[in-house]
Chain A
Amino acid sequence: MTKKLIHKTSKAYLLFTTVLLVITAPAFYFIIQNLYLEDVDEALELHKDEFLKYSVSELKQTEISFWNKYNREIKILENQNIKKETCFYKSYYDSLSQESEPYRELNVPIFIEGKPYTLSVRANIVESEDLIVSISIIFIAILFFLLLGLFLINKRLSYKLWKPFYQTLEKIEAFEIDKNNQPQLGSTDIEEFNRLNYSIEKLIEKNTSIFANQREFVENAAHELQTPLAVFQAKIDTLIQSAEFSEEQYKMLSSLNDSVSRLNRLNKNLLLLSKMENDSYNEKQTINLNEAIEKHFDFFAEQAKSKNLTIKTELKETVAVKSNPVLVETLISNLFLNAIRHNIKDGIIVITLSNQSLTFSNSGQATPLVSDKLFKRFSKSNPSEQGNGLGLAIIMNIVKINGWSIQYNFSNQLHQFKIIFQNGNH
């Protein structure tokens, strides 16, 4: 599955930021917590030092309960039998908030008027749960804004940066080698795209010129062949008049004759193809397809007689298309001939015409044709056939010139060629 470029980069950014934040969030939590606890411990130490320095010397035993009454955080407890300073966590139930709150507590052994007591200094600390929630909220907010920012910047930037690329892409997509519309890609302020445009322009130029050369070659070759073919034909016509020949010689002359007429057809079809490619048939007019089919119907019916074919026509409605009359006539003739040529004895041909399509179906070989090579020049399903392998290439070309489409189907033992006039120009 392909995705747009921006999706790919965005995905990478998204992944990286998410992973980074997920890893750093717990680290951040521990660091913050440690710093905080250190700070709390320092505060407790400070309170203790203050007490020892200023309060303990003046405090009397009788005042202890009084002290404890007004000091919530620094209390003097009965001797807890501790030898040295101890620091620990402890939860106290808070009647105000009605929940137990975590405290950090520092216990120190002290002497008041010579009697041992334990000093307990404590501080309410932030619940780690609260800390995690706060950190998470902050991190999610950071993540959100970071991604949003990255996405927007990336989008804007890639739109701006890739603009020349998409322009080039559009022009290449619109380019057709057989039409004379060589794209001008222009230059941009990005070096890579300039290189790309330059390379593509060079490539297109080269291909166009090769294509033109090849087309010209086919046309010239076909043209140049006409004169020697005319001489060939005339010489055979003259030769067969000269005298009586032996049976063997008649056979040879006959096969020569067939070959030259085959060469003629081949040459004419090549000329037709190259003329089509040179846009020689661009004049369009409205053509009644029913009439076009009926025009040469007798001719093809006659051709079909030797195979004893049944021709059925289902011309449901009168259909008109806008096209070149020569092309339409050639199209129908080739479809007709194709249906006759590849038919079997006593076979059938069905011609169906509707507003959307024209279909020629014919009986023939019992297996479907290999369709990927079907419309290529000189491709023949059976090399020993009479045809020159140009018929379907010509059909394909005419279909392409008119912006129609063609489908091949094999069903109910019928080979079906369907021309679809999808352009709505009828």
Chain B
Amino acid sequence: MKILLIEDENELAESIISYLTGNGFVCEWASNSKLAIDKISIYEYDCILLDLMLPDGNGFDILKELKRQNKTEGVIIISAKETLETRIEGFNLGADDYLTKPFHLSELLVRIQALIRRINFKGNNLVAYNEIEIDILSKTVKVKGKKIDLTKKEIDLLLYLIGNENKVLSKSAIAEHLSGDMADMLDNHDFVYAHIKNLKNKLKDAGCSDYIKTVYGLGYKWQND
């Protein structure tokens, strides 16, 4: 999977690249819009991460250029701007998702995965991990071929954990992922523990291996050992 990151902030770009590289992605980086347009014209990407404020232009121009070249890459806008107007303009110009800075890298990763799944959708939308099988469309989860009963939130959490395999996920990152738009309101992340515990128990009851590891004081990690 190839990703193009268009971002002028070196430090942020470095972190994003290092996080994504570990999870089966090849990440290329363009720090300005000229470089970005050059790369877009030559290569094909599975997903483009686009910052809107670039030193030599507006990220929207890159969206227009993609449209002009009839490119079908998925685009996730990552921007500090968060007005409804910029969101709407972004979506109108063909962006697929919009992530406001600051964000957790784990969140970015699952957004990319979800976008790529949507683009490559071929009749079924399955995520499989060893004995676990998740059907994203019908919202059902099977362990060893047997359906288990999970709530919508638990399925969401499961996808998030699997998507960030081998990564330590802080409680606040999980809390923010689970609460979506309401994340800004949260000042207590205790509810994460309850969700993790329930998911863990349900998987265990279905005979699934214990993949969810507790990282002391910090959060959780999905790991196959």
Binding site for B on A (CB under 8 A): 223, 226-227, 229-238, 240-241, 247, 250-251, 253-254, 257-258, 260-262, 264-265, 268-269, 271, 275, 280, 296, 299, 302-303, 305-306, 326, 333-334, 337, 341, 386-388
With A223-B80, A238-B19: A299-B179 Cβ-Cβ less than 8 Å? yes
Cross-chain contact A233 with B80 (CB below 8 angstroms): no
List chain A residues, Cβ under 8 A from B15: 231, 234-235, 237-238
Tell me if A's interface is mostly helix, strand, loop or mixed.
Answer: helix
List chain B residues, Cβ under 8 A from A386: 187-188
B124 lies within 8 A of chain A by Cβ: no
Binding site for A on B (CB under 8 A): 9, 11-12, 15-16, 18-19, 22, 80, 82-84, 101-106, 167-168, 170-173, 176, 179, 182, 184-188, 190-191, 194, 215-219
**CA A387 to CA B184, docked complex, whole Å:** 12
**CA A337 to CA B105, docked complex, whole Å:** 27
With A237-B15, A254-B217, A261-B176: A230-B102 Cβ-Cβ less than 8 Å? yes
Query: Nearest-CB distance from B25 to chain A (Å)?
Result: 15
Cross-chain contact B191 with A265 (CB below 8 angstroms): no
Cross-chain contact B216 with A247 (CB below 8 angstroms): yes
Query: Nearest-CB distance from A326 to chain B (Å)?
Result: 8
**CA A250 to CA B170, docked complex, whole Å:** 11
With A306-B188, A333-B182, A333-B185: A237-B170 Cβ-Cβ less than 8 Å? yes
> Chain A: which residue is nearest B195 at the CB level?
A302
With A306-B188, A333-B185: A234-B16 Cβ-Cβ less than 8 Å? yes
List chain B residues, Cβ under 8 A from A231: 9, 11-12, 15, 102
The 9 closest A-B pairs by CB, nearest first: A230-B102, A234-B15, A226-B80, A230-B101, A261-B172, A237-B105, A306-B190, A233-B102, A250-B217
List chain A residues, Cβ under 8 A from B170: 236-237, 240, 254, 257
Query: Nearest-CB distance from A39 to chain B (Å)?
Result: 99
Cross-chain contact A227 with B217 (CB below 8 angstroms): no
Cross-chain contact A229 with B101 (CB below 8 angstroms): yes
**CA A302 to CA B175, docked complex, whole Å:** 12
Cross-chain contact B179 with A230 (CB below 8 angstroms): no
With A253-B218, A257-B170: A238-B18 Cβ-Cβ less than 8 Å? yes
Cross-chain contact A302 with B105 (CB below 8 angstroms): no
**CA A376 to CA B209, docked complex, whole Å:** 52
Query: Nearest-CB distance from A328 to chain B (Å)?
Result: 14
**CA A84 to CA B78, docked complex, whole Å:** 129
Query: Nearest-CB distance from B169 to chain A (Å)?
Result: 9
List chain B residues, Cβ under 8 A from A333: 182, 185
A-B contact pairs, 29 of them (CB 8 A): A226-B80, A227-B9, A227-B80, A227-B101, A230-B9, A231-B11, A231-B12, A231-B102, A233-B103, A234-B11, A234-B12, A234-B102, A234-B105, A237-B19, A241-B22, A250-B216, A250-B218, A253-B217, A254-B217, A257-B170, A257-B172, A257-B218, A264-B184, A265-B187, A280-B83, A306-B188, A326-B84, A337-B187, A388-B187
Cross-chain contact B101 with A303 (CB below 8 angstroms): no
Query: Nearest-CB distance from A221 to chain B (Å)?
Result: 13
Query: Nearest-CB distance from B23 to chain A (Å)?
Result: 11
**CA A302 to CA B103, docked complex, whole Å:** 23
Cross-chain contact A237 with B173 (CB below 8 angstroms): yes
List chain A residues, Cβ under 8 A from B219: 240
List chain A residues, Cβ under 8 A from B216: 247, 250
With A231-B9, A235-B11, A238-B18: A265-B104 Cβ-Cβ less than 8 Å? no
> Chain B: which residue is nearest A240 at the CB level?
B168
**CA A353 to CA B130, docked complex, whole Å:** 50
**CA A296 to CA B182, docked complex, whole Å:** 9
> Chain B: which residue is nearest A275 at the CB level?
B83
Cross-chain contact B184 with A265 (CB below 8 angstroms): yes
List chain A residues, Cβ under 8 A from B186: 265, 303
List chain A residues, Cβ under 8 A from B187: 262, 265, 337, 341, 386-388
- Contact pick for B101, options A226, A247, A262, A265, CB 8 Å: A226
List chain A residues, Cβ under 8 A from B167: 241
**CA A254 to CA B167, docked complex, whole Å:** 15
With A230-B80, A231-B9, A254-B170: A337-B185 Cβ-Cβ less than 8 Å? yes
List chain A residues, Cβ under 8 A from B190: 306
Query: Nearest-CB distance from B108 to chain A (Å)?
Result: 9
